[in-house]
Structure 1
Amino acid sequence: MPVDVPEESRIIDAAYRCLAQSDGEGVSMTDILGAAGLSTRAFYRHFESKDALLLAMFRRDSDRLHAELDAAARSAASPAEALRTWIEGYLRLTAQPRRRQRVLMLSSAELLGASGYAEARAQSMRQLQEHIAGILRQGQADGSFPWTDPEADARAVRAILTEAFSERMSRSARTTAADAAEQVTDFAFRALGAGKRG
């Protein structure tokens, strides 16, 4: 007997499939509900509008990414290793075909124009920055990042990291994801005084 998939998940999964097939042309509610095999009434049980659906998709992927990176950082042996792991994990998305496609879908013109997207993206960036600041605070406490000002430095590391991410997503980068991660990490370690005492 097949496992019943909740309606909300069916709608979200169908929306991803439709977006993947749309080549940036946008998708209609009819397309999504046809792919999900559900009615308009079923849609409105879970979402107020198509924009609400698109934002739910963005938030779900964003929350999943932050949870993965945070778990990897928490299992690291030191703050320095946690920061390295976090940077590598974030940039590795650009080299994984399936997840890269998800990122591209979730940065399509349709989503960018969705009501509430700017606020959702800003929240995701704040969350990213707070994860980094938490690692830097640990490094400040144990002396592994003696030069850090955690809040200000987290903002700088986030800016450099998101720039490297955007460059990789645009395919204009001449380096691999691993090389880009190493460059960002090396810069961050030098700026934070990693390995320096006094």
Structure 2
Amino acid sequence: MTAPELADWRTYDAPTLPRVLDAALRCFAEQGYHGTSIRDLASEAGLSVPGVYHHHKSKQEILVALVMAVMDELLGRSEAALASAPEDPSAQFDALVESLLRFHMFRRQQAFVASTEIRSLAPESRRQYVDRRDEQQRMLDRVVVAGADAGVFGTPYPLDAARAVATLCVGVASWYREDGPLDPDELVARHLVLARGLVQG
């Protein structure tokens, strides 16, 4: 997904993954990559085993397609958030942090599978995935460094602060629940306070 396709980056509808990838997401989240067979995937997708192989050559190819789709959405939303913000580091920081928070609230299962099954990717695919993950981190790094250089942020360690902010946002996926005490807007507001504290120094 590109930024123009995600102009409304705060809005989350049900994921629209292709049939096999949608089934893989559920299976890998519940059973893990190695605990899931092609037969399991076929059953979950309502397909025959040959039907799965018609779409993908292997279970590894399915995993790669799934985690790359997750990263495409994450990066697309981050790019759209930055594009929607005024060109000052503080506003861009808030937009990017909010986007990361909302993604890890509303795409918890996707974030979980992508982060835990990196171990199951073949070396070249793992490198490609890590490159995309690093691209997301560099997006945040650039905003925090720009803010520190402009005196907007007081941290003497902008790259360390940016990593800490990313960790804060990603961690939401491990505990957020729709029926919890905070609604999404309240959670974003509180975590923006925490994230700003990390870059103020």
TM-score, structure 2 length as denominator? 0.65
Which structure 1 segments of 5+ residues have no match? 1-11
Which structure 2 segments of 5+ residues have no match? 1-16
Deviation, structure 1 residue 62: 0.9
- Asked whether 1:160 is paired with 2:183, we answer no
In the alignment, which of 126, 135, 154 is matched to residue 127 of structure 1? Answer: 135
Deviation, structure 1 residue 88: 1.5
Deviation, structure 1 residue 142: 2.8
**Counterpart code for 2:121:** S
CA distance in 2, matches of 1:36, 1:72: 40
- Asked whether 1:53 is paired with 2:55, we answer no
- Asked whether 1:80 is paired with 2:90, we answer yes
In the alignment, which of 99, 102, 109 is matched to residue 92 of structure 1? Answer: 102
Contact kept? 1:69, 1:86, Cα under 8 Å: yes
In the alignment, which of 121, 124, 127 is matched to residue 115 of structure 1? Answer: 121
- Asked whether 1:144 is paired with 2:152, we answer yes
Partner of 1:6: none
Change in CA separation of 1:36 and 1:72 when aligned onto 2, cut-off 3 Å: farther
Deviation, structure 1 residue 135: 0.8
1:124-150: CA deviation from partner (whole Å, max 9, x where unpaired): 543332111111122123322133522
Contact kept? 1:146, 1:192, Cα under 8 Å: yes
Partner of 1:24: 30
**Counterpart code for 2:24:** L
Partner of 1:8: none
**Counterpart code for 2:144:** L
CA distance in 1, matches of 2:78, 2:115: 24
**Counterpart code for 1:50:** K
**Greater Rg over alpha carbons, structure:** 1
Identity of aligned residues (%): 17
Partner of 2:56: 43
Deviation, structure 1 residue 36: 9.8
Deviation, structure 1 residue 69: 0.8
Q: Tell me how large the CA RMSD over aligned residues is.
A: 3.7
Partner of 1:13: 18
**Counterpart code for 2:153:** F
Contact kept? 1:145, 1:192, Cα under 8 Å: yes
1:84-132: CA deviation from partner (whole Å, max 9, x where unpaired): 1112222223554xx455446x3598x4663348766654543332111
Contact kept? 1:14, 1:35, Cα under 8 Å: no
Aligned positions, number: 174
Change in CA separation of 1:179 and 1:141 when aligned onto 2, cut-off 3 Å: same
CA distance in 1, matches of 2:161, 2:102: 22
CA distance in 1, matches of 2:111, 2:160: 27
